[in-house]
Structure 1
Amino acid sequence: MLDIRLIREQPDFVKERLATRGGDDAAKIDEVLRVDAERRKAETALQQLNSDRKRLSKEIGGKRSRGESSEELESRVREIGTEIAQLNDEVTAGEEQQKNLLLGLPNLPHAGAPIGQDASDNPVVRSWGEKPQLEGAVQDHVALGAKLKLFDLERAAKLSGSGFICFTGAGARLERALIQFMLDLHTREHGYLEVSPPFLVRRDCMIGTSQLPKFEEDMYGLEGNQIFLAPTAEVPVTNFHREEILPVSELPKKFTAYTPCFRREAGSAGRETRGIIRVHQFDKVELVKITTPESSFDELESLTANAERVLQLLGLHYRVIELCTGDVGFGSAKTYDIEAWSPGQNAYLEVSSCSNFEDFQARRMNLRFKDGEGRNRFCHTLNGSGLALPRVFAALIETGQQPDGSVRLPEPLHRHFGAAEIR
């Protein structure tokens, strides 16, 4: 949520930054200011009426003590009571209207973010490794999965409909090995605290991490949309400290969590929807940080490096891109996407999106810290996949495919998987 004081004091700056996203969000600032002015006017009038009522009540008491008539003053106090009730309703309605308007506004892109309209304007920041040179005809993960019986998409569809996966045999074991490998790396080498959160989250938590209200149609809601299947571990883990004031000495807080993720929208028709690339339910290891405004962009760099380390140890070629202003997510100020190379798709696949939300989420969930001078300030929150499966699964088996039809696995997985290859 944007700071209403910033909107009041620097409306042109806010409009300019929102305009870089494209769309009509900048035009909504005038409506926010109008509603804010009306609400503040009503609050001022309410304060004056309360003051008047208090003053008149004292006068009534004085008249009564002197045996004088106070009927006229009592009549005015009753009128003021009616006016106060009406203004209370106006203030409450104004607060709700302002809150809804602010919840509908995206975050301001960071001043250093590349200006652009869509993904085609995202610059490549760096890359690691080389595209693998494979012998013979390159098979995609769908063909490899069918031959080695790693997953069964037809039976998954029989169980749950299209857009779901059922890993089987060595495939299920590889999925589990990848999750264990990632969690071990992030907890033992990168210093994250592992959390195993609930997979169901309350509506206010979804608002806190900015999935709601804008993206409600993409979510799986239960009980009249008051509780949701978590679309990412970002939701329960970032909200873990909601409505708290943390000592600055405890920051940064670093969490990692494995959860299944649930999303209604599984992509439009096309090559990317084939197989296990874009589905309604998928496994993911998440990284979350809660920190101070002064350190958040340094923390974004280290979080991104932690996610990259997974691909480096797996020996997978990847690139890092920075999202331009027209492509950056709704709540993010700055985002790096990490894309692993898929030989079977002959394309890069996004396996992680690492973002700094600054205080956008913290304002929505009232997450603060007490600084060294005793002031309560809003935290900055960050998150990124560390990493998302099953795209890593697909890139891994496509990269490791051998001419004899087997799949060679990278050494760091041997202990978790229990073998060096899949046959």
Structure 2
Amino acid sequence: MHDIRLIRENPAAFDAALARRGVEPISHLIVEHDRVRRELQTKADVLRAERKRLSGIYGQLAARGEGNTPDALEFKDQSIKIAQSLSQIEKLQAESADVSTLLEGVPNTPAPEVPDGMDESQNVELLRWGTPRSYEFTPAEHADLGPALGLDFETGALISGSRFTFLKGGMARLHRALAQFMLDRQTEKNGYVECIPPLLVKDEAVYGTGQLPKFSEDLFQTYISFNEFFKDVLKELGEDAVIVETATQKQISTVKQLIDRLKARQAKSPEARRWLIPTAEVSLTNAVQGQILGEAQLPLRMTALTPCFRSEAGAAGRDTRGFIRQHQFEKVELVSITKPEDSEAEHERMTACAEGVLQALGLPYRKVLLCTGDMGFTARKTYDLEVWLPGQGAYREISSCSNCGDFQARRMNARYRPEGAKGTEFVHTLNGSGLAVGRTLVAVLENYQREDGSVDVPEVLRPYMGGLTRLVPLA
């Protein structure tokens, strides 16, 4: 969310910043709606004060037994007219566009040093670490190498459909080892506090971190009152009704109407709905939702290993083969809550913490500064870490670390009180992957593969694997 005061004071600068992200000028709409809202509020406040004054005078006259005198009745009549005018003002307030509704769909403004660009082709590479290994054979992609080792795409699809995978044997253990290694490193070496947050969250949480309302289609949601829906279906169709392929048009129409009714009821009652987290960023960042922190509490550094759930509605057709883009995956998330003046340094620190995992695993990668057209909705500045995949002969994203400034904090109303100050300021929020476990598994498989189809276990993971040094094809 943006600061409306800054938009009022310098609308041209606001539009110029958003233009770098390809957003059409919008400040004039925001400022005009804000002007109307404030004018209506001022009129309403004046009318309420006058109504209160007149009611008080009439009340005093009535208490003295003078309630029916011409003067008293005049005060009463004026009070009634003011109440009617106030009702009209309140109606206009209800009908006027809410400025926050306009602002909630506007992305964060980019930091000055973020390069301009339309897409990932215009990102800027900052560094490369490690030298890709030379092979005496043609390295296989993980999707070809993995199935013999326990990366079972067919069973995952059988159980849940596309973009789900079933891991077994040494592959499942390697996945667990990677996750535990990452979590231990971020807590023991980098000072993050381990958390186990909820996986199902309320509307306010996904709104606070920017997934709602604009990106709802990329999320999975669940309803806790779905049983009521089926009761309604049976009530409408008869308890002995069975919906089969030969259902009548009337039955189908009735079910559709009931579904629409359910959606409407859920929209009016958000408490009956929960969202599956697309990343632990949602739960961890919202840990400070609505709070006023003390300056001494900052920075807060939290980490969590959680399943993540994404519908991938915005990525249709991308990475449909293999383990890179899944509906369900695990990730070690990093979240920091800082003072505004500390967030840039914290961004560098967080990215270095993610890089440290790749370096410890001996995985070549590059660090990229995203251009304005490739950044996420809430980000002010983002670094991507892209790991080398020899099977694909390309670098692929494995971590994204973003500084969101006060953008999410304003949506969550998360503040802190500077030492000795009476007022409060919004905190800055940062998030990053430390790392995505599934994509790291892919990188290990491709970088540590042997010609016979086996895969060496990186040395730092061997204690987590019970001393196992190599994965071999399952019997």
TM (norm. structure 2) is 0.85
CA contact (8 A) 1:260 1:282 kept: yes
Which of 312, 316, 336 is 1:265 aligned to? 312
The equivalent residue for 2:74 is: 72
The offset of 1:63, in angstroms, is 4.4
Map 1:55-66 to 2 at 5 A: 55-61=53-59, 63-64=61-62, 65=64
Q: Give per-residue Cα distances to partners, 1:313-362, cap 9 Å, x unaligned.
A: 00000001011111111111000001001111111111111000000000
Aligned to 1:195: 195
Distance 2:94 2:369 in 1: 41
* Secondary structure of 1:295's aligned partner: helix
1:126 is the counterpart of 2:127: yes
Q: Distance in 2 between matches of 1:309 and 1:211?
A: 29
Q: CA deviation at 1:50?
A: 1.4
What is the distance in 2 between the residues matched to 1:340 and 1:80?
68
Aligned to 2:90, which of 73, 82, 88?
A: 88
One-letter amino acid matched to 1:377: E
Contact (CA 8 Å) 2:12, 2:27: kept in 1 or not? no
Aligned equivalent of 2:373: 326
Counterpart Cα distance in 2 of 1:30 and 1:291: 32
- 1:39 touches 1:90 (CA, 8 Å); kept in 2? no
Aligned partners of 2:336 and 2:305: how far apart in 1? 15
Match of 1:287 among 321, 334, 337: 334
- Structure 1 stretch 107-116 or stretch 303-312: which is displaced more? 107-116
1:227 and 2:274 aligned? yes
Let me know the Cα RMSD of the aligned residues. Answer: 1.5
Shift of 1:23: 3.6
The answer on 1:213 being equivalent to 2:262 is no
**Cα distance in 2, alignment partners of residues 75 and 377 from structure 1:** 47
* Other-structure match for 1:33: 31
2:300 alignment partner AA? K
- The residue that corresponds to 1:50 in the other structure is 48
1:279 Cα offset (Å): 1.3
TM-score (norm 1): 0.96
By how many angstroms is 1:61 displaced? 4.1
- Unaligned runs of 5+ residues in structure 1 are none
Figure out how many residues of one structure are paired with residues of the other and give that number: 418
Q: Distance in 2 between matches of 1:407 and 1:231?
A: 30
Structure 1 ranges of 4+ moved more than 6 A: none
Seen in structure 2, the aligned counterparts of structure 1 residues 170 and 62 have a Cα distance that, compared at 3 Å, is same
Q: Distance in 2 between matches of 1:58 and 1:212?
A: 46
Letter in 1 for 2:104: L
The answer (yes or no) to whether the contact 1:339–1:352 under 8 Å persists in 2 is yes
User: 2:409 & 2:152 partners in 1: Cα distance?
Assistant: 41
2 CA distance for matches of 1:268 and 1:184? 34
Q: Distance in 2 between matches of 1:235 and 1:82?
A: 45
Give the one of 407, 418, 432 matched to 1:360: 407
Aligned to 2:286: 239
Partner deviation per Cα, 1:155-202 (whole Å, 9 max, x = no partner): 110101111111111111011000000000000000000001111011
For 2:185 and 2:113, how far apart are their aligned partners in 1?
Answer: 31
CA distance in 2, matches of 1:93, 1:348: 51
Which residue in the other structure is 2:155 paired with?
Answer: 155
Using the TM superposition, name which of 280-289 and 74-83 deviates more: 74-83
Match of 1:4 in 2: 4
Mapping 1:148-187, distance limit 5 Å: 148=149, 150-187=150-187
Corresponding letter in the other structure for 2:102: L
**1:348-402 C-alpha deviation (Å, 9 max, x unpaired):** 1111110000000001011111111232110000000000121111111110012
Identical-pair percentage: 45
User: 1:299 corresponds to which residue?
Assistant: 346
- Give unpaired runs (5+ residues) of structure 2: 224-265, 268-272
The one of 425, 444, 449 equivalent to 1:377 is: 425
Quickly say closer, same or farther: Cα 1:11–1:237, change in 2 above 3 A.
same
CA contact (8 A) 2:363 2:387 kept: yes
* Structure 2 CA distance for aligned equivalents of residues 208 and 254 of structure 1: 18
SS, match of residue 88 in structure 1: helix
Q: What is the CA–CA distance in structure 2 between the aligned matches of 1:92 and 1:7, rounded to whole Å?
A: 23
User: Letter of the aligned partner of 2:339 in structure 1?
Assistant: T
